[in-house]
Amino acid sequence: MSNRVVCREASHAGSWYSASGNCQRSTIPHAYKQVDPSITRRVFILGPSHHVPLSRCALSPADIYRTPLYDLRIDQKVYADLWKTGLFERMSLQTDEDEHSIEMHLPYTAKAMESHKDEFSIVPVLVGALSESKEQEYGKLLSKYLADPSNLFIISSDFCHWGQRFRYTYYDESQGEIYRSIEHLDKMGMGIIEQLDPMSFTNYLKKYRNTICGRHPIGVLLNAVAELRKSGLEMNFTFLNYAQSSQCRNWQDSSVSYAAGALIVH
């Protein structure tokens, strides 16, 4: 049996974010200001798969995730428990390093937890194109971890990817300029997420087809919340910031929307 430690390199440092760990996504810090490092001992990071088709969720083959600040250790005990369910597959190290959705949050996680950097571990989960029933299944499974105040859940997602290059050009002329229509569409979805109702969010996506890349990780979270609410746990979700990469005014333009929010479990 090999004792070799497998490390996932910070493969997007210097391109998607600076080698010092600063990220271009300006809404992200708003969410990380909510983190309390003194009580957080485990950080679950759920990100969508952009490059590899997955119908389930996948776990990393790595032991360590490198960041420009310091290395993050994967919680192998939780991974072992997740493996036992038979619901997860293993992604290759190449797939892991190609994917940016989880990595984008690693420098922020490292920075937010810096004062307790030797006292926490991470649980990265790559989320595939899940069916509604699969979102419910994973939500139910992860709900017990969400209920634990020492666990922090990070859900990685952009909002609307608009433009011909994204093959999505929904436009409600009653909202005025295209970028206003995009904002209206996004904020409609954000309002539904704040209601913490997974079925309403699913119906919104079916109706408008908004290109929210992390819709399945969000769906898993909403289903985990729904499971916990059955036992009387009080929760509320609030969006803290919203931005667009540019303001679209004609059909040649394109933009990506960003939103940051926080779920509080009482």
- List the end-to-end C-alpha distance of the chain, in Å, as a whole number: 44
What are the beta bridge partners of residue 133?
A: none
pLDDT level of residue 1 (50, 70, 90 thresholds) = very low
Q: Are the C-beta atoms of residues 71 and 64 closer than 8 Å to each other?
A: yes
More confident residue, 49 or 44: 44
pTM over 0.85: yes
Q: pLDDT category, 100, cuts 50, 70, 90?
A: confident
What domains can be seen in the chain, in order of their start residue?
2-263 (3.40.830.10)
For the beta carbon of residue 206, count every other beta carbon within 10 angstroms.
9
- Over residues 120-151, the pLDDT tens digits come to 999 999 999 999 999 999 999 999 999 999 99
> Alpha carbon of 130 to those of 50, 98, 183, 203: distances in Å?
13, 20, 26, 15
Here the tokens at position 98 are 């190609």
Residues 243, 261: Cα–Cα separation, whole Å = 12
Query: What's the mean pLDDT when you consider all of the chain?
Result: 92
Residues 6 or more apart in contact with residue 200 via CB below 8 angstroms:
192
SS3 2: coil
Q: How far is Cα 26 from Cα 5, in angstroms, rounded to an integer?
A: 34
Q: Tell me the per-residue pLDDT of 10-38, one tens digit each, with 9 for 90 and over.
A: 655 555 555 555 555 558 888 899 999 99
Q: Give the residue-averaged pLDDT of 62-83.
A: 95
Strands (E), 36-156: 42-48, 57-59, 64-65, 72-73, 88-90, 121-127, 151-155
Q: What is the pLDDT of residue 17?
A: 53
| Position 2 pLDDT exceeds 60 | no
From 199, 217, 218, 263, select the one nearest 236 (Cα to Cα): 263
